[in-house]
Amino acid sequence: MDFNKIIDRYKDELIKSTQELLRIKSVAKGDAGEGKPFGEDVAKCLDVALKISEQLGFKTCNIDGYAGYAEYGEGEDYIGVLGHIDVVPEGDGWLYPPYGAEIHDNRIYARGAIDDKGPTIAALYGLKAIKESGVKLSKKVRIIFGTNEENGSTEIEYYLSKEKPPVAGFTPDADFPIIHAEKGITMFNVVKNLNIKPKEDITIKYIKGGHRPNMVPDYCETMVISKNPYDIEHSAMEFAKEKGYEFKTEVKDNSVVIKSYGVSAHGSTPELGKNAVMQLLSFLGTLNLGECDIANFINFFNKYVGFEIDGKSFGVYLEDKASGKLSFNVGVIEMDEDKVSMALNLRYPVTYKYEDMMNPFNERISEIGLKIENMIHQKPLYYPEDHSLIKTLQKVYTEQTGQRATLLAIGGGTYAKEMPNIVAFGPIFPGKPNLCHQVNEYIEIDDLILSAKIYAHAIYELAK
């Protein structure tokens, strides 16, 4: 096929179309009326993406502002390429205007350059090359423009209420070569009302720390009320010195505030962080609080979690060859005199079921009467190595790059989980930095063009 030559011919147009989309600040806002469920700017960006698609000769459809698509070919079934055109806010500290789409050192700098406008336009031009070549396909192809990936992907639920899913396809919203396994993800709170109070001579007034369940907390603090606050302060600092933790303290009247500092990391890779909450609980477990609910809670988590990140002591350890070990992250704690709540993020291997983890989890927490609240669950995504979709994408990647198409398994979740029969395929090449959501986000023009070539051949192989 001459797809690559056609893409080279359209290189300048591909770059200009990418820049046109990047210059729109498509950060989701509130509903701006009919056809604009995520605000004016996202709606404008979708309109521009569909206008570009029409100019390239594709049939287009706007699904009530929730999503849109460019379509080519005939047939009942279709191959889907799922991209998104919404972006996260730009943040501060950019070298170049974050919505300028300026080219420097053969890179296009802008929010959304790599996540996900650049690769989505690359896939669109890949389909243009197929159209231009005149080859026949046995299935239709849709480049789907999502609009809410950065805020929960609610647009895909709406899309699937109106349209059937693709029979196969990919999302250019992660890493090359291919992500074939994504762990099951849960985020939830374990909660206990504190009815039995500590004895009067020493009381924990509050504990608070962490930002989100899916982040290793880098800070946590507590206030302890005591007749001897300086003794508590001395014990805390000695404990921290012995364990290699960073604590700071403030004594005022009969109270001492103890501040624990850790290292943040993503909840899918807790081994890369230092958990400030568990550092503090490990110290509080040394205090003589007597028989009370908060002491039982602290001792329970010190005994069954501590600094373990695989759930072994908790009784929920799982592991498989495809995706490795379960991960267990303590993300947030909020405690006052009446209630304690801890937010957890557990991710389980792809060949297991939710119940394989949660049945033993529920059995364990029944020991001290913890309740689960606000459960969020995302099932695993898994395509075996011999699946036809995986084999096809591996073949294309190897032919177009000359590199071996190794399969990736991750603890995080990608856009592929939102739509059936889709896997994550690019656009970040091995060894390249992951600039998604980062200041000075860019896409290398050479990578943009190579992605378009890979996507053209992948679409053709799936739809021929």
Catalytic positions: 86, 149
Quick one: which H or E segment has residue 11?
Answer: helix 11-22
Cis-peptide, bond into residue 427, ω within 30° of zero: yes
Q: How far apart are CA 405 and CA 395, in angstroms?
A: 8
25's tokens:
């600040």
Beta strand spans in 323-414 (E): 324-325, 327-335, 339-348, 371-378, 381-382, 407-410
The amino acid at 149: E
Cβ pair 389, 423 in contact under 8 A: yes
CA angle in degrees (0–180, nearest 5) for 388-410-424: 45
Q: In whole angstroms, give the CA distance from residue 282 to residue 307.
A: 9
- Measured CA distances, 447 to 118, 394, 398 (Å): 10, 18, 15
**Which of these, 136, 117, 124, lies nearest to 70 by C-alpha position?**
124
DSSP state letters, 150-182: GGT-HHHHHHHHHSPPPSEEEESSEESSEEEEE
Distance CA 230, CA 95 (A): 49
Of 247, 199, 205, 251, residue with least CA distance to 225:
205
* Beta carbons within 8 Å of 368's beta carbon, 6+ residues apart: 192, 296, 297, 300
Q: Which helix (H) or strand (E) holds 442?
A: strand 442-444
